[in-house]
Amino acid sequence: MVKYGGWQAEFGPQPPVSRDGAHVFQLEFEEENGKPVPPRFSYLHDDRLMCAFNLHLDRSWGYEGVNGDREVAVGVEEMLAAAGLPDANVPRREVHRAALEIIERYFGLSLPRRQVLEAALPAVSWRSRSRRASN
């Protein structure tokens, strides 16, 4: 699932679809906030947080390091370290790209660039109703 916009906690702490053996991978982007909100990756399985970190690999927004299941988080952290990350001297865009490549390799994921740019992707869109609108 790739989510763009809105407050990251808007959908709650964990998507309910991570139950009953499901593996849920999320990329969350919030570039229109006006504040430097880093993109965030998380992986959930059976309602458990297996791995989560911000893709800038900095301490912004309360994130530090890779959180989650000890085995999974350590494995991802080791790959990041092998790539020389985190490194405050590397531009955020490059860190972000390297972190995505590590996620792709570690979890065996792929989202081909051509498909993303040229094809229709399955999507779900939620709109939260304001309290004023629901009264």
**For residue range 86-109, what is the model confidence (pLDDT) as tens digits?**
998 999 889 989 999 999 999 998
Beta strands 48-54 and 2-4, pairing class: unpaired
Residue 84 lies in a domain: yes
pLDDT of residue 51: 94
User: Residue ranges of the alpha helices (H) in the chain?
Assistant: 70-82, 92-107, 113-118, 131-134
Residue 133 lies in a domain: no
Per the structure, the count of domains in the chain is 1
- Here the tokens at position 110 are 């792929």
Residue 70 lies in a domain: yes
Residue 47 lies in a domain: yes
Give the 3-state secondary structure of 76-99.
HHHHHHHCCCCCCCCCHHHHHHHH
Check: CB of residue 31 under 8 Å from CB of residue 64. Answer: no
pLDDT of residue 82: 97
Residue 97 lies in a domain: yes
50: helix, strand or coil: strand
pLDDT > 70 in the chain, percent: 64
In sequence order, the 6+-apart residues with CB closer than 8 A to the CB of 111 are 2
pLDDT of residue 28: 80
Residue 135 lies in a domain: no
d(CA 124, CA 65): 30
pLDDT of residue 7: 52
pLDDT in tens, the chain (135 residues): 555 555 555 555 555 566 778 888 888 877 666 666 778 888 989 888 999 999 888 877 666 789 999 999 999 999 999 999 999 899 988 998 999 999 999 999 886 767 766 777 665 544 444 444 444
Residue 9 lies in a domain: yes
Residue 59 lies in a domain: yes
pLDDT of residue 125: 46
Check: CB of residue 8 under 8 Å from CB of residue 17. Answer: no
Q: Which domain holds residue 93?
A: 2-122
pLDDT of residue 33: 60
